[in-house]
Amino acid sequence: MYVDDIIFGATNEKMCDDFSKLMESEFEMSMMGEVKFFLGLQIKQHKNGIFICQEKYVKDLLKKYKMNETKIMTTPMHPSSSLDKDEN
């Protein structure tokens, strides 16, 4: 649930329901379901945990600056280049 950019949750579903009913009796609000985005962050909920990432933000930036169709490279340098220990 979002309340002016605030979310709540619980591992106990009954507690969540009771709290939402209490909040609805005091404030005008709506239940939005499982959170997917919050303050620009992408929220992914899985059985093994909750993960927060900015994947959508990065994709939007790449699109904005027309970098979303650039050639992908696994390393930012030529593969035949080698790095040596700096002796100085």
Question: Which tens digits make up the pLDDT trace of 24-82?
Answer: 888 887 777 788 888 878 998 888 988 999 988 888 999 999 888 888 777 777 778 88
Q: Which residue has the higher pLDDT, 1 or 64?
A: 64
pTM of the model: 0.49
Which amino acid appears at position 44 of this protein? K
CA distance 13 to 29: 19
CA atoms within 13 A on the CB side of 59: 7
Q: Which two tokens stand for residue 10?
A: 């619980």
CB 62 within 8 A of CB 68: yes
Q: Which two tokens stand for residue 65?
A: 């600056």
Please report where in the chains the tokens 């605030």 appear, as a residue: 6
